[in-house]
Amino acid sequence: MNPLSQLPSVDRLLSTAALASLVDLHGRAIVTAMVREVLAEARSAVKAGAPLPDEAALLAKVGAGVTAQVSPKLRPVFNLTGTVLHTNLGRAPLPEEAVQALIAAARSPCALEYDIESGERGDRDTVVSDLLCELTGAEAATVVNNNAAAVFLLLNTLAQKKQVIVSRGELIEIGGAFRVPDIMNRAGARLVEVGTTNRTHLQDFAEAINSRTAMLMKVHASNYAIHGFTHAVPEAELAQLAHQNNLPFVIDLGSGTLADLAAYGLPHEPPPAEAIAAGADLVSFSGDKLLGGPQAGLLVGRRDLIAKIKKNPLKRALRVGKLTLAALEAVLALYRDPDRLHLRVTAVRQLPRSEAEIRGGAERLLPALQSALAGLPVTVEIVALKSQIGSGSLPVDRLPSAGFAIKPQGKKSGVLNRIEQGLRGLSKPVIGRIEDGALLLDLRCLQAQDEAEFAGALAALGIQK
C-alpha cells in the first residue's frame, strides 16, 4: 500500500482534542495552515524514504509550529550584557509611572491636541513643553521621534543651503549609521570643519564665520573621548562668539540627563540646563538614554527658533505619538522630585548600584545557576565585572559590577555556545556576553524583585550534556 495514504487527513488532525484547544486559543485559520504545512513536509519526507510519522509526532510539530508563529517578536529579555542602556535591547526600561500613563493613553481617547479649557484645537507639544522648560531653564521646547530626528530637523530648518561650523574632533559616528556629516548633508546644510582632531580654538571658529554661516554647533562626544594634548572651546565662549555675529549656537547633547549624576557617585554628564545657562540657543537630547524615558528627541531653547522649527513641514513627519508623549510626561514629572529619582527612574536606579549590592544578588542566585548547569563540563563562579552605561553615554567610565563567569573545563569551548544559545532560547531570553573564553552574566540590570523570575527561567534550561 502507498504509505502516503496512511498519513492522516487535515480534518482528522483538526478533530483531535490537542488541536481543538489550539484552535480555541489561536483561531482555526492559523492552526489549519500549520497542519497543511506539517503534512506537506511529512509527505515529502516519506517520499524521500523516511518512515511514516505517527500522529502524536505530527500533532507535536503542529503545536510547536503554531506556538512559534504566535509568540510576539518583540519579547521581553533579561539584559545581563553589562550595558545598561543597550540600544539593541530597547535602551531605558520605563518607570512604572510611565508604564501606567502609557496604558491609560492607549486605552482611551485623550486630549492629545485638544485644549480642554477652551475646547479648541491644541498642540501636542504642550503635553510636555512646560515641564521641559521648567527642568532645563529654556524658553520653549518641542519633541520629535528621536534625537537623530531633532538634529536633522534643526539643521534643515535653520541651515538649509547654509554653513554650519563644527569642530573636527566632534564629527562623530554613533552606532546605527548616525554620522554627523551625513545628517548635515541630508538636511541640506554645508558642514564647515574647523580645528584639528585633538585641538580646536575659538580663533578657528571666528575665522570660519562668513555671510553664509547659519550657526555654530557643538556635538557632545558621547561615545568616545580624546585624551592627551587636547583643547575644546568652552561653550560659553562659543555662545559669545556666535551672538557677536548674530548667529545661534546649537548643542547636540546626545544623552542629556536631567539628574545630577555626581550625587549618585557617577561621573558628571552635562545636563541641558547647563548648556542653556552657558548661552546655547538650542539644545537637543534623547528621551531614552540617561533620561530614562521613551524614545524621543527633545529640543529646547530660544522661543523664536523653536517656533521656526515647529513650522517646518518635516516636523509633522517626525512628530511623536500619544503613547510616547504619555510616557515622556510621566517620566519628566518624576524629575520634579530629585530626592526620589533613584527609587523611581529605572536607569537612575540601576546605574549607581554598588558592586557589593550586585554581588549579593549573585550569591543568592548561584545555586539556581549551578543546578541548571549541573553535569556540564563548566565551572561557574562569581566575579567582579565592569558594566557600561551604553548608548554612548559617559564612554570612558566603567561601573564596578558583579556577576557570573561560566568557563569551559578543559578545551570544550563548544559548551559555552550551547549554554549561550540555551539561555537565549528561554521563554524570557537571558542575554549575556562571551568574552575571553567565558560566558559572562552581569547582574547590574537584574533587580532584587526580578530574582525569583530569573531563577524560575533557569530551572527551565535544558542543555545537552
Among residues 80 and 299, whose Cβ is nearest to ligand PLP? 299
Q: Indicate the residue among 141 and 148 with the shorter CB distance to ligand PLP.
A: 148
Give dist(CA 78, CA 296) in Å, integer: 23
Q: Which of residues 274-293 bind ligand PLP (CB under 6 A)?
A: 286
* Phi, then psi, of 390 in degrees rounded to 5: 90, 175
Binding mask 13-32 for ligand PLP (x = CB under 6 A): --------------------
Binding map of ligand PLP across residues 223-262, x = CB under 6 A, - = no contact: -----------------------------x-xx-------
Which one of residues 61, 86, 218, 220 is an interface residue with ligand PLP (CB under 6 A)? 220
In order of 363, 382, 401, 454, 461, the CA distances from 370 in angstroms are 11, 11, 20, 13, 11
253 vs 92: CA distance, rounded Å: 17
Q: Does 306 bind ligand PLP (CB under 6 A)?
A: no
Q: Which of residues 389-418 bind ligand PLP (CB under 6 A)?
A: 391-392
Measured from each CB, the residue nearest to ligand PLP is 254
- Residue for grid cell 527609587: 343
Nearer to ligand PLP, 14 or 221 (CB): 221
- C-alpha angle 82/254/267, rounded to 5°? 55
- Part of the chain binding ligand PLP (CB under 6 A), chosen from 141-149, 154-162, 184-192, 450-458: 141-149
Q: Which is nearer to ligand PLP, 55 or 173 (CB)?
A: 173
What letters, b where the CB count within 10 A reaches 16 and e where it falls short, cover 375-394? Answer: ebebebebbebebbbbbbbb
Q: Which of 30, 60, 70, 178 is the binder for ligand PLP (CB under 6 A)?
A: 178
Would you count residue 219 as binding ligand PLP (CB under 6 A)? yes
- Taking the C-alpha atoms of residue 96 and residue 292, their distance in angstroms, rounded to an integer, is 12
**Count of residues that bind ligand PLP according to CB under 6 A:** 16
Q: Is 222 in the site for ligand PLP (CB under 6 A)?
A: yes
Q: C-beta of 392: minimal distance to ligand PLP in Å?
A: 4
CB 382 within 8 A of CB 363: yes
CB of residue 286 vs ligand PLP: minimum separation in angstroms?
3
Strands 178-179 and 173-174, how do they pair?
antiparallel
For position 272 contacting ligand PLP by CB under 6 A, the verdict is no
For binding to ligand PLP (CB under 6 A), which residues are involved?
Answer: 146-148, 151, 174, 178, 219-220, 222, 252, 254-255, 286, 297, 391-392
